[in-house]
Amino acid sequence: MVKRDKNFHLENIQKIIETRNRIAHGYDKISDDLIWSIVINHLPKLKEEIKSKLEE
Protein backbone atom coordinates (compact mmCIF):
# COMPACT_ATOMS: atom_id res chain seq x y z
CA MET A 1 0.00 0.00 0.00
CA VAL A 2 1.30 3.42 -0.97
CA LYS A 3 1.17 6.13 1.66
CA ARG A 4 0.25 9.65 0.68
CA ASP A 5 2.44 12.60 1.59
CA LYS A 6 0.18 14.90 3.62
CA ASN A 7 2.18 17.92 2.45
CA PHE A 8 1.57 17.21 -1.24
CA HIS A 9 -1.92 18.23 -2.29
CA LEU A 10 -3.59 17.89 -5.67
CA GLU A 11 -6.98 19.46 -6.21
CA ASN A 12 -8.86 16.25 -7.07
CA ILE A 13 -6.67 13.62 -5.47
CA GLN A 14 -9.54 11.50 -4.15
CA LYS A 15 -11.26 11.44 -7.56
CA ILE A 16 -7.96 10.52 -9.20
CA ILE A 17 -7.50 7.60 -6.82
CA GLU A 18 -11.09 6.42 -7.27
CA THR A 19 -10.81 6.58 -11.07
CA ARG A 20 -7.56 4.66 -11.01
CA ASN A 21 -9.18 1.96 -8.88
CA ARG A 22 -12.20 1.71 -11.19
CA ILE A 23 -9.95 1.34 -14.23
CA ALA A 24 -7.55 -1.11 -12.58
CA HIS A 25 -10.26 -3.35 -11.18
CA GLY A 26 -12.80 -3.03 -13.98
CA TYR A 27 -15.59 -1.81 -11.74
CA ASP A 28 -18.80 -1.31 -13.72
CA LYS A 29 -17.04 -1.78 -17.07
CA ILE A 30 -15.64 1.72 -17.62
CA SER A 31 -16.89 3.25 -20.87
CA ASP A 32 -14.57 4.54 -23.57
CA ASP A 33 -16.48 7.83 -23.51
CA LEU A 34 -15.69 8.33 -19.83
CA ILE A 35 -11.99 7.64 -20.35
CA TRP A 36 -11.85 9.96 -23.37
CA SER A 37 -13.64 12.69 -21.42
CA ILE A 38 -11.06 12.41 -18.63
CA VAL A 39 -8.20 12.58 -21.14
CA ILE A 40 -9.59 15.66 -22.89
CA ASN A 41 -11.10 17.57 -19.97
CA HIS A 42 -9.03 16.73 -16.91
CA LEU A 43 -5.53 15.56 -17.81
CA PRO A 44 -4.34 18.91 -19.22
CA LYS A 45 -5.30 20.65 -15.95
CA LEU A 46 -3.68 17.90 -13.88
CA LYS A 47 -0.51 18.16 -15.98
CA GLU A 48 -0.29 21.91 -15.32
CA GLU A 49 -0.97 21.44 -11.61
CA ILE A 50 1.80 18.85 -11.30
CA LYS A 51 4.19 20.94 -13.38
CA SER A 52 3.58 23.89 -11.08
CA LYS A 53 4.23 21.79 -7.98
CA LEU A 54 7.48 20.45 -9.41
CA GLU A 55 8.68 23.99 -10.03
CA GLU A 56 8.07 25.04 -6.41
1-56 per-position pLDDT tens digit: 666 677 778 888 888 888 888 888 886 678 889 889 999 999 999 999 999 988 88
pLDDT attached to residue 2 = 64
Residues 6+ apart with CB under 8 A from 28: 22
pTM over cut 0.85? no
Per-domain residue ranges of the chain: 32-56
